[in-house]
């Protein structure tokens, strides 16, 4: 099984658990545990912000930030959420862009798409469309999107360069990349990088902060910035590393304050001069 199949399987289970009324995720095999005290996933949204969002969309939330709160979204914009899961950020975007705008969610996992479409029906919004596909091959035309958002998904990709090239392609000139993701500052032990379970849990595949900037720049983006929104201390590290065959007492202190959730912004230039 390659990493994409493992990711798909884990998030299919997460969607099923939400539908059957269990907790949001499958122990700590997903981004955070989905539990209320989880260091990565908990308390991302303001109660007022999600008051009109269906309960199942909130329960399925497995992100690590709140991209729509930080992104600049205007009435009439077309927004694309890469790895939309249960749809929470797509539904929040739909309200922000209004009936003249459109919010697309893209996800490769059938069970998540089913959940997201049910949540759309419950929310009664019409300017939303959930697409099946991979973030490495976005099923939208060139220059068709004003804003790309994403919440804790790009770290899961085994080909991040391809994701950034595709994001650049579908954005209109002047379009904005406004993404929440897990990012690493500095080196982390190789045993973390090697763990498939920690990859699926949004930890092992996280890009180093400078690498994130350089990959986005290489894809053609400008005004690239990484702004930490939550930095994980030793207790958080203990929590997300435990249960994966890692010597937590030894390794957690080595990664204290190195893992963080961050908001990453970048812009597609109005005149394209992408290096090939």
Ligand X SMILES: C[S@@+](CC[C@H](N)C(=O)[O-])C[C@H]1O[C@@H](n2cnc3c(N)ncnc32)[C@H](O)[C@@H]1O
Give the binding site for ligand X (CB under 6 A): 4, 7, 11, 30-31, 61-63, 83-86, 88-89, 107-109, 112, 134-136, 151-153, 156-157, 202
Nearest to ligand X of 153, 167 (CB atom): 153
Cα–Cα distance between 272 and 252 in angstroms, integer? 43
183 exposure class (CB count in 10 Å sphere: 0-12, 13-18, 19+): buried
Nearest to ligand X of 77, 134 (CB atom): 134
Nearest to ligand X of 60, 237 (CB atom): 60
CB of 253 to ligand X, least distance (A): 26
Residue indicated by tokens 């908990």: 42
What are the tokens at 19?
Answer: 């539908």
CB of 151 to ligand X, least distance (A): 3
CA 27 to chain centre: 18
Nearest to ligand X of 20, 273 (CB atom): 20
Cα–Cα distance between 45 and 123 in angstroms, integer? 17
CB of 63 to ligand X, least distance (A): 3
Nearest to ligand X of 90, 266 (CB atom): 90
On whether the CB atoms of residues 95 and 73 are closer than 8 A, the answer is no
CB of 202 to ligand X, least distance (A): 6
What are the tokens at 120?
Answer: 């759309």
CB of 62 to ligand X, least distance (A): 4
Cα–Cα distance between 128 and 121 in angstroms, integer? 10
């Amino acid at each position: 099984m390659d990493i994409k199949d493992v990711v798909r399987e884990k998030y299919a289970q997460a969607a099923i658990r939400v539908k059957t009324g269990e907790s949001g995720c499958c122990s700590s095999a997903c981004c955070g545990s989905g539990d209320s005290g989880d260091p990565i996933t908990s308390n991302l949204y303001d109660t007022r912000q999600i008051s009109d969002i269906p309960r199942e969309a909130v329960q399925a939330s497995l992100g690590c930030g709140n991209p729509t709160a930080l992104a600049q979204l205007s009435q009439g914009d077309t927004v694309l959420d890469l790895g939309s899961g249960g749809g929470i950020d797509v539904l929040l975007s739909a309200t922000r862009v209004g009936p003249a705008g459109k919010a697309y969610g893209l996800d490769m996992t059938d069970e998540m798409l089913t959940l997201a479409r049910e949540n759309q029906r419950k929310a009664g919004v019409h300017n939303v469309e959930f697409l099946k596909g991979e973030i490495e091959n976005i099923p939208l035309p060139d220059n068709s999107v004003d804003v790309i958002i994403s919440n804790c998904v790009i770290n899961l990709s085994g080909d991040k360069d391809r994701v950034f090239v595709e994001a650049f392609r579908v954005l209109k000139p002047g379009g904005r990349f406004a993404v929440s993701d897990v990012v690493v500052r500095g080196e982390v032990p190789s045993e973390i990088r090697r763990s498939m379970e920690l990859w699926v849990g949004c930890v092992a595949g996280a890009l180093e902060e400078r690498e994130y900037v350089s990959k986005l720049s290489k894809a053609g983006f400008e005004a690239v910035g990484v702004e930490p929104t939550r930095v994980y201390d030793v207790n958080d590290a203990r929590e997300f590393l435990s249960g994966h065959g890692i010597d937590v007492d030894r390794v957690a202190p080595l990664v204290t304050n190195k893992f963080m959730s961050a908001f990453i912004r970048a812009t597609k230039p109005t005149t394209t001069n992408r290096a090939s």
